[in-house]
């Protein structure tokens, strides 16, 4: 699978189990982070249906690396690795 050079792809599982376990919230957090950090050019957010890893969900991948059991707190940590201005005072998780 080819990707545009310099573009990080975030793929969110939209299967019913992952979505109910937290990817609904995770998707909103990702979209907000991409917009607020002006990463629209360097990050591509896509969704896909089930990968048959439901018991380990919510699942998503960032730059091809699959992450299982992604809580909102863990997602915020992962998103900080994408760059953009760092925020002090992390708000609520």
Predicted pLDDT of residue 2: 40
pLDDT: which is higher, 56 or 93: 56
Residues 6+ apart with CB under 8 A from 32: none
Predicted pLDDT of residue 5: 72
pLDDT digits (tens, 9 = 90+) for 34-71: 999 999 889 999 999 988 999 999 999 999 999 999 99
What would the CATH number be for the domain defined by 8-80? 3.40.30.10
**Residue 25: C-alpha distances to residues 4, 31, 41, 60 (Å):** 27, 10, 22, 12
pLDDT digits (tens, 9 = 90+) for 2-40: 456 789 999 999 999 999 999 999 999 999 999 999 998
Predicted pLDDT of residue 4: 65
């Amino acid at each position: 699978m080819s990707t545009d050079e310099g573009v990080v792809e975030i793929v969110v599982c939209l299967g019913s189990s992952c979505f109910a376990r937290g990817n609904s919230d995770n998707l909103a957090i990702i979209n907000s982070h991409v917009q607020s950090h002006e990463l629209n050019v360097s990050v591509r957010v896509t969704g896909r249906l089930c990968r048959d890893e439901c018991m380990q969900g919510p699942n998503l991948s960032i730059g091809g690396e699959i992450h299982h059991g992604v809580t909102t707190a863990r997602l915020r940590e992962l998103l900080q690795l994408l760059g953009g201005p760092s925020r002090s005072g992390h708000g609520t998780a």
